Amino acid sequence: MTEPLLELTDVTKTFPNGTRALRGVSLRVAPGSVHGLVGANGAGKSTLIKVIAGVHPPTTGSLTWQGARRSWRDPGAARRAGLATIHQHIPLVETLSVLENVFLDRGGFRRTPVGRREEFADLVERLGYPVEADVLVGDLSIGARQMVAILQALAAGAELVVMDEPTASLSEGERRLVFDAVRRLSGQGTAFLYISHFLDEILDLTGQVTVLRDGRVVLDRGTAELDEETLVRSVSGRELRAVESVPAVVPDRTAPVVLEVAGLSSPGRLTDVSFEVRAGEVVGLAGLLGSGRSEILAAVFGDDQAATGTIRVGDRPVHAGHRRSAFRRDRGPRDAVDAGIAYVPEDRVRQGLHVGEPVWKNISLPYLAASARGGVVPREDDERAQALRAVGDLGIVAAGIDSTPAELSGGNAQKVAFAKWLYGDAKVWLLDEPTAGVDVGAKADLLGLVRRLAAEGKAVVVVTSEFEELLAVCTRVLVVRRGRLVAERAAARMSEEELMMLAQGLTAGTVRDAG
């Protein structure tokens, strides 16, 4: 190997609560390489990149950057030395333009110097993806924001770009754009440390892979010598059952309709969306990012004040009877929960977790509310037992159920937010990107869980960007485009390619025009 750009030697990190997140990690990243970093939820990936980026000082061990031993005083020091980190939630300023965001680090963004436009044009040329300088970042798709974040890294002179799950909520097309950009830039000499739970991406994109498990490197190998099976085994430490091996639910066409949505509209978002879900059905909403698929779930849950239309759970109307608008934010979600709807939003960690409360309380909150409505106040012992069960069912890695979500890895916090709804008495489940951010083992567990819910007679609606997953877990798929339902298929009779075409509106002959 040529002289590494970055070298970590025997790095350990112990948090104040005693968690040993890194237990002697060594890693070498070559200049201009694309280096994959993978591992199960809680394996230590985020902690490692925080050490690299100067957010956490290592407890012991050393970091060598461009041949010199360094210890970053703060993240600014790492950035100035040529190390950029792009996190999943990209901290761009929505009210500023692309140009202003790209040069944010240099300040003075209210008056954009003329030279910056030329520099911007050069950066865009290097990236090989057309991004307009004057568009507001708030108006961009997540994929385009990734591109802006990459431009920002280039503008800061980054030689190593650390990308933390860059494609987690991207559509297939957007993923390809990110891949192309990474390949192109690495060809020009920029190195990437690429973190992803999508092992096919890792195999496709990287030249070298490091696998972490329980804070240790368990595999470090050239990608050409790896296959998916080896990688899966190394990440999860076990043989995985494929999702397909969980028996699929065969829908019963005579089963009662549990959820009925009729004429659901919301100005600028949704137009006349109508569908039914029977007991035991898993219905998938497929569409590109921004198609309105998540908005449908939010509106059904009552989280869209402008929405109109009729929603029923069994015979019970939901969100009815308000004069000004059928859906009032203050009443909507409560009425939905009372009617038996559980909603796991995409951004569940921010929307669904109380970060200051321990894990066991987070898991028991809806259960507590339901029990209290029934006149029974659960004992703390019961709530703790419930939480322990959830930790076992979902394989949540935490020091204990008294940890707070802030002390958990991203994927494990996702699982806590999910677990929160598991033991309630919901009849309808609305799941937005249920497997986002979770590792390959937990993904299979969660999908198995969705099937179990259906087998218990629940009505489930799932939104996911991963079409393969959608087809594996759903009985029926509705395709959403520009806020309308444009096609419906039995999942068993549909291929991923067809789904992709429909979502993009490419088969005009078979799809009603979405207008």
Q: Write the single-letter amino acid at 21.
A: A
Sole binder of ligand ATP in the list 383, 407, 432, 498 (CB under 6 A): 407
Q: Which of 4, 302, 352, 411 binds ligand ATP (CB under 6 A)?
A: 411
Size of residue set near ligand ATP by CB under 6 A:
21
What separation in angstroms does the CA of 453 have from each of 100, 297, 472? 47, 18, 15
CB of 45 to ligand ATP, least distance (A): 3
Q: Tell whether residue 19 is a contact of ligand ATP (CB under 6 A).
A: yes
What is the SS3 assignment for 347?
A: coil
Q: Name the amino acid, one letter, at 220.
A: D
Asked if 408 touches ligand ATP (CB under 6 A), the answer is yes
- Stretch binding ligand ATP (CB under 6 A), from 45-53, 222-230, 322-330, 343-351: 45-53
Name the one range near ligand ATP by CB under 6 A: 16-24, 73-81, 282-290, 480-488.
16-24
How crowded is residue 161: how many other Cβ atoms within 10 Å of its Cβ? 26
Stretch that binds ligand ATP, among 96-104, 180-188, 410-418, 461-469 (CB under 6 A): 410-418
- Closest to ligand ATP by CB, 43 or 99: 43
Q: Considering only residues 5, 25, 38, 46, which one is a binding residue for ligand ATP as defined by CB under 6 A?
A: 46
Q: Where are the beta strands (DSSP E) in 393-483?
A: 428-432, 459-463, 476-481
Interface with ligand ATP by CB under 6 A: which range of 97-105, 276-284, 404-412, 446-454? Answer: 404-412
Quote the least distance from Cβ 407 to ligand ATP, whole Å: 4
Which two structure tokens, joined as six digits, stand for 126?
């290097």
Nearer to ligand ATP, 410 or 441 (CB): 410
Report the residue closest to ligand ATP, judged by CB. Answer: 411
CB nearer ligand ATP, residue 16 or residue 515: 16
| Nearer residue to ligand ATP within complex by CB, 260 or 407 | 407
Cα 152 from Cα 154, distance rounded (Å): 5
CB closer to ligand ATP out of 21 and 337 = 21
- 43 contributes a contact to ligand ATP by CB under 6 A: yes
Pairing label, strands 308-313, 257-266: antiparallel
Instruction: Return the residue of 42, 58, 302, 352 that touches ligand ATP, per CB under 6 A.
Output: 42
Interacting span for ligand ATP (CB under 6 A) from 14-22, 28-36, 381-389, 503-511: 14-22
Q: Does 415 bind ligand ATP (CB under 6 A)?
A: no
| CA nearest neighbour of 194 among 168, 224, 155, 229 | 168
What strand order describes the sheet that includes 308-313?
270-278, 257-266, 308-313, 316-318
Cβ neighbours of 83 (radius 10 Å) = 28
To the nearest 5 percent, what fractions of the chain are helix, strand and coil?
40, 25, 40
The Cα 5–Cα 7 span in angstroms is 7
> For residues 328 and 305, is the Cβ–Cβ distance under 8 A?
yes
Nearest-CA neighbor of 394 among 344, 339, 465?
Answer: 344
SS3 at position 253: coil
Residues between 430 and 449 with contacts to ligand ATP, criterion CB under 6 A: 439
**Token pair of 255 as six digits:** 């089963």
CB of 4 to ligand ATP, least distance (A): 22
* Residues 197/38, Cβ–Cβ less than 8 Å: yes
Q: Give the footprint of ligand ATP on this chain (CB under 6 A).
A: 15, 17, 19, 21, 39, 41-47, 397-398, 407-412, 439
